[in-house]
Amino acid sequence: VFNPGLGLRPKPDRAAHRVVFDRIAAFGLGDCTRSTASTRQRLGNCICEEAGACVHVQTHRNPKSAVPWQIDYLFASEKQLMTRLTSCRAIDDSARAWELSDHCPVVAEFDL
């Protein structure tokens, strides 16, 4: 999606990325961050195509970009774990979370 306000170029590889996520789902794995999107506010400045229903969470910071990138995901088996998922979040609420990397931890909790 081209958003001139953020100075972004169109993403010609978006379809290829979608194929990867579709393949992951075909192997019976669910996206923990997507499944828990209703528990958090919409990600500001997200460039996703899901405008009013953004399911992303910022997991990466790029000092050259205003975009809150999500490039880290957590997947779990649909049959064994996704039905027991209680929460999934990026731990990005402190400077310490970003201290060692430009990626922050993503943590999922399951009721086992």
pLDDT in tens, the chain (112 residues): 333 333 333 466 677 778 888 999 999 999 999 999 889 888 888 877 665 678 888 888 888 888 888 889 999 999 999 999 999 999 887 777 788 888 988 999 999 9
Its pTM stands at 0.78
- What gap in Å lies between CA 34 and CA 59, rounded to an integer? 13
Residue whose tokens read 């100075």: 7
Instruction: Give which of 36, 112, 43 is closest to 75, Cα–Cα.
Output: 36
Instruction: Give which of 31, 24, 3 is closest to 88, Cα–Cα.
Output: 31
Q: What is the pLDDT of residue 9?
A: 38
Q: What is the pLDDT of residue 95?
A: 76
Helix (H) or strand (E) holding 86: strand 85-90
> Taken in order 13, 106, 34, 27, is the CA torsion positive or negative?
positive
Helix (H) or strand (E) holding 76: strand 75-77
Q: What is the pLDDT of residue 12?
A: 66
Evaluate whether 91 touches 48 at the Cβ level (below 8 Å).
Answer: no
Instruction: Give which of 88, 96, 95, 101 is closest to 36, Cα–Cα.
Output: 88
